[in-house]
Amino acid sequence: MRLFNRKTETASEPGTGPRVVLLVEGMHCSSCGLLIDDELEDLPGVRSSTTDVKAGRTTVRLEEGAAVNTAELIAAVEQAGDYTARPAD
Nearest to 6 by CA among 64, 74, 61: 61
State the pTM of this model. Answer: 0.81
Model confidence pLDDT, tens digit, residues 1-50: 555 555 555 444 555 689 999 999 999 999 999 999 999 999 999 999 99
Three-class secondary structure of residue 33 per DSSP: helix
With H, G, I as helix, E, B as strand and everything else as coil, classify residue 86: strand
pLDDT recorded at residue 6: 53
Query: How far apart are the C-alpha atoms of 79 and 28, rounded to whole Å?
Result: 16
The amino acid occupying position 10 is T
Q: How far is CA 10 from the centre of its chain?
A: 18
Strand partners, 21: 59
pLDDT number for residue 18: 92
What was the pLDDT predicted at 29? 95
Q: H helices then E strands: how many in the chain?
A: 2, 4
Q: Reply yes or no on whether the pLDDT at 87 is more than 70.
A: yes
